Amino acid sequence: MCKKFGGYFEKYLLLPHIRSKSSGTLATEKAFQRRFWRYLEGIAFEGTELEVNRSDAEKYIQHMGESSLQANTIRTAIGILGTFYQEAVRQDWMLKNPFSRLDPPRPVEEPHTILSVKQMKKLLVVPDLTTVNGFRDRVVLELLYSCGLRRSEVSQVKASDFQEGYGSIRVIGKGQKEAVIPVGKMAAHFAAFYCDNVWPRINRDDREELFLSCYTGAPLNDYQVYRIVKEAGVQCGFKETITPHTFRYSIATHLDEEGVDIRYIQEFLRHEDLSTTSRYITQGFHRLQAIHHNTHPREKS
């Protein structure tokens, strides 16, 4: 962190309700804070981060726009900085939140990659089951698709989280909310074999986490989970970058295509707002619509 800035952000990170955030969320907050501090250093800002006022905040937003950052990135930056400063006000570290009620750029609905069922089946069988790494990666992919887990949730899975003979799994999601999610038969089969035969071979330090590095024995972090998924997509020859979130969008689309009620999909993906689930499904429709326009014989003629 920058020497001049970050002292109060360190205090912010020690607050109990902030410490309960997921590692991925905190990593994102830290990255956007550091970017802001670099800007303040670049303009030779005098004072601590708590001496930033509304005019300084507006100039930073203008600076981000001139730096060709995407609108959604700028919106995220405003939200993260606003959250920190709002907490600073609550803690009586300062009087006003300089990022309060600023006008962010309009959000841009970015298309997400959605795999068909056939493509998903192709992706799942990429890992080499004759290797420890490969079997571990296969279980990761199976659970992502079967349970719609987020990558931060995958990195925290413990063997003890499985219930009912691997028929369900307990996860701690966003906001430390606990949920029990059904596990499909295929995913349960691979998870059971992995727990009984593979995991003990790499669990040299008697850890609780299920997915470990075969080299260090440490639990996989969020980025390593992302790499497993991305590399599987590359090996499949997919042009689009495949991420853990691709699974959640694909699952929503597949369930919707099977006629599953949207409220069940919302519960399964653990969305607080139904509009979020609706957006996932809309993405799937737009993809189907594009395929129809590009391939249907009547459209081509």
The set of catalytic residues is 150, 174, 245, 248, 271, 280
State the DSSP H helix or E strand holding residue 136, giving kind and residue range, or none if neither.
Answer: helix 132-147
Measured from the Cβ of residue 131, the count of other Cβ atoms closer than 10 Å reads 12
The DSSP code sequence of 204-220 is TT--SBS-B-TTT-PBP
Name the residue with tokens 């071979």. 201
Tokens encoding 160: 């003890």
**What are the C-alpha distances in Å from 125 to residues 74, 135, 228, 232, 252?**
38, 10, 13, 9, 21
Q: HSE-up of 243 (CA within 13 Å, CB side)?
A: 10
73: exposed, middle or buried (C-beta count within 10 Å: 0-12, 13-18, 19+)?
middle
Backbone φ, ψ for residue 109 (5° rounding) = -75, 100
Cβ neighbours, 10 Å, residue 120: 19
For residue 10, count CB atoms less than 10 angstroms from its CB and return exposed for 0-12, middle for 13-18, buried for 19 or more: exposed
